[in-house]
Amino acid sequence: MEYKAGIGYDIHRLVEGRKLFLGGVEIPYAKGLLGHSDGDAAMHALCDALLGALALGDIGEHFPDTDPQYKGAAGSLLLKKVKTLVDKSGYRINNIDIVVIAQEPGLSPFKKQMKENICGLLDITQDRVNIKAKTNEGLGPVGNKEAIATYALVSLVKGG
């Protein structure tokens, strides 16, 4: 296979008493995302997309939420671990496209930092990563500000 593609999705509940992390950026907001780890739905969706492209299962298999070592784990740490699997695969990242869906807070001011974080962690140039931020038009749990969701798509190309 010359190319491989993978898709990832994640959603976490917004709760009080947690910091909000998305794409490795701490975002000022009254609530944060609930999870065994730091709840960074953007990083988790991206990890799942990479694992999907590699045909290596899902994030829950690699980083079980019953494992104490991943309690409070930063999304960036998980992404770094997944990167080692990409590096071993004989494929490299062609491009990444991410859609972060949050009714609140507005994420546009943080897209640049998310992109820089992801490029730095994966050691790829910025022309390979796109981050989109949108609301859910007030619909459903994301629209009701009960949760934040993310979709991620990646493509890999053969050649280390």
> Shortest Cβ distance from residue 16 to Mg ion (Å)?
19
Among 4, 31, 44, 145, interactor with Mg ion by CB under 5 A: 44
Spatial separation of the C-alpha atoms in residues 94 and 45, rounded to whole Å? 17
Closer CB to Mg ion, 41 or 91, in the complex: 41
Q: What's the closest the beta carbon of residue 74 comes to Mg ion, in angstroms?
A: 12
19/88 with CB nearer Mg ion:
19
Contact at 8 Å (CB) between 40 and 23? Answer: yes
SS3 content of the chain, % helix, strand, coil (to 5): 35, 30, 30
- Contact between 145 and Mg ion by CB under 5 A: the answer reads no
Taking CB under 5 A as the criterion, the residue among 4, 10, 63, 115 binding Mg ion is 10
Beta-carbon-side half-sphere exposure of residue 45 (alpha carbons within 13 Å):
26
